[in-house]
Structure 1
């Protein structure tokens, strides 16, 4: 498997300050691919005396877009045994050529030599990426924690809209909640931050991971995007929506612990619970949710080993 690397938290409590120990930041090195990490390994509430539960490793991976992945990156990705790549971007995001004036992904093609199946599941349809809609979304991001929560509310609405034939979140959750153990997947958008961050947070919440740990996982994106931060900021400040406004552009690239805490609170206020959003709005059956839990929760002994 590609090398896993760690680092310090960009915000929020340190692992030692949380009620339960956390695994090190589970980044996987794949040259040309930013923000690649395993969403597994995080603890869930104790199931019985002497054992604890955790999210199964090696099933759900997340990353930024794949356009810069070459042979070395493909070799690392193949070691992860990923069979499906769920692409949350809109068609317009990968329609820009490499010389385009957008920071969005450059291609809808899979890296050469990688056999994984690409599944196009856009959160936003083409019309949602008009200049006016983009400017409104960028302005919401720039308002700080509550602005992000408002913007993330629009993502939740778009992902569950009956008008979205792709039903991105339902498609991903259905794969993970299949009758047979699901094969490993990669979920990505452009930076692997907002849309990807939301679906990963939803999965973790459904499995019983607490909010503080979900927010910790979300905040790791600041480490994961460090190598591309300046590139993204420069593209944003050259665009119409945030022209010349570096502080606001930098806030948009952030992935702060507090943002996910506020977002989870918003979901519960708006929908009642994460599961209610998934069942009542994304129209995922409760049976699928239960299978997802069965597929992705493993028992771990106090000694740290997986219990069969």
Structure 2
């Protein structure tokens, strides 16, 4: 994947300038509460909160599956400006699972997806993201309602 297409992180409350977060064109907020508008720095905002009462690594759970499909369908929209930043509070759980799901739709090698996840701040476990990836199964089936060809064109072409 070309550099700077996909970014991820934690909450943006501490950010003072767009350059600190690589000046995203679109920010996808996965946490429950909305971002503070001044922190968007001209980026478009998409808010798709995950259910706090559900373990998001359980991607076979129908609630998680619906949430991840909403995320991927939203990202596939031609209106989404790149670079795209996915974020939640800590940048590892909701964001890690959503990033892994997106990367799986792009046919990124599973080991690279796991290695990317392990770069997260804080305590992370290989088994957690592997479990999430196992639950996704075949991304084409899991995300059958999303335009995966459009995603691949946007994220993978130079």
Q: The TM-score by the shorter chain falls in which range?
A: 0.7 to 0.9
Question: What residue is the counterpart of 1:62 in the other structure?
Answer: 8
Runs of at least 5 residues in structure 1 that lack an aligned partner in the other structure: 1-54, 95-107, 138-149, 162-167, 230-253, 299-307
1:87 aligns to 2:14 (yes or no): no
Give 1:153's match in structure 2, choosing from 58, 61, 64: 58
1:76 aligns to 2:76 (yes or no): no
Question: What residue is the counterpart of 2:142 in the other structure?
Answer: 277
Question: What residue is the counterpart of 1:262 in the other structure?
Answer: 131
Corresponding pairs, count: 158
Q: Which structure's CA Rg is the greater one? A: 1
Runs of at least 5 residues in structure 2 that lack an aligned partner in the other structure: none
Question: What residue is the counterpart of 1:293 in the other structure?
Answer: 152
Give 2:46's match in structure 1, choosing from 119, 135, 145: 119
Find the aligned partners of 1:188 and 1:155 in 2 and give their Cα distance: 22
Instruction: Compare relative contact order (CA 8 Å, sep 6+) and give the higher one, 1 or 2.
Output: 2
User: For the structure 1 residues 200 and 90, does the alpha-carbon distance in structure 2 shift closer, same or farther, using more than 3 Å as the test?
Assistant: same
Are 2:44 and 2:81, in contact at CA under 8 Å, matched by a contact in 1?
no
TM-score (norm 2): 0.81
Find the aligned partners of 1:113 and 1:218 in 2 and give their Cα distance: 24
Aligned CA-pair RMSD: 2.8
1:109 aligns to 2:51 (yes or no): no
Find the aligned partners of 1:76 and 1:196 in 2 and give their Cα distance: 18
